[in-house]
Structure 1
């Protein structure tokens, strides 16, 4: 049940990131075309594409956990005995989890404080832009737990 739920969440995250990437490419293309054709462009396209890039980056970081695509120094850990290797992996996961919990709690705090601030061109509450910080913290936490369990089970 855990695995299938997490797979659905990760697939949904990938789909959202893909839609955002496609939209961002279209917006940048629109901006370039309007600059060439009418020597002017819509100010909101640059702002929205920047916000989409931020969301894509944070969503991509959470997706990378699913594929074990984050940089790690496994050379030293792989040389350790099985039990010590598991201990090191749990300690590393705990350190990451502390960071993710900071992302979640401080992200919600930042999001709440910035809801009164609006973006210049879109007049969008900045809290919506900052919402990706706690969202990605939650997604990365789920994937961290899953990948740590998989690593420890592989070593048994």
Structure 2
């Protein structure tokens, strides 16, 4: 399982860096939009770029949070379970995440990306295909699916009812 841990650390560092860059560009874009709105005529592309960056940041940030078990979760009830029951509940939880990420984000995201790519829809002010707006869905879904599989395998491989934090 050391390979999984190294891959997760590399993924977390890479995603963290990407999120920092996307967030920095988003801040600069929004500040530029606000500045130009008050002193000149606001360029139309700033709003569309901000929307694109915010969607990408939200999905990639969710992947990053899930990779480090910092994603929103309510474990008040589960924390009172016996260790082996708690482990089973966490496996079930990660199976639900896996099912959602495969069905909705990965498969649905691929379909949405293909439909938008085939339609030729463009983002009017940025001049790029709208498909690139939606590409983050299958990317995020694929990454979350891999992380969920890793977390399930780690939980199932823990011995003697010992709970490992996935």
TM-score by length of 1: 0.90
- What's the CA shift for 1:150? 5.0
Unaligned runs of 5+ in 1: none
Q: How far apart, CA to CA, are the structure 2 residues paired with 1:81 and 1:26?
A: 49
TM-score by length of 2: 0.85
- What's the CA shift for 1:57? 0.3
- What's the CA shift for 1:100? 0.5
Aligned to 2:121: 117
Aligned to 1:155: 163
Pick the aligned partner of 2:131 from 115, 127, 136: 127
CA contact (8 A) 2:12 2:64 kept: yes
CA contact (8 A) 2:113 2:132 kept: yes
When you count helix as a share of all residues, which structure comes out higher?
Answer: 1
Q: How far apart, CA to CA, are the structure 2 residues paired with 1:46 and 1:28?
A: 8
1:97 and 1:89, CA in 2 relative to 1: closer, same or farther beyond 3 A? Answer: same
Matched, 1:2 2:1: no
Unaligned runs of 5+ in 2: none
Matched, 1:63 2:71: no
Q: How far apart, CA to CA, are the structure 2 residues paired with 1:72 and 1:109?
A: 29
Pairwise CA RMSD: 1.8
CA contact (8 A) 1:17 1:60 kept: yes
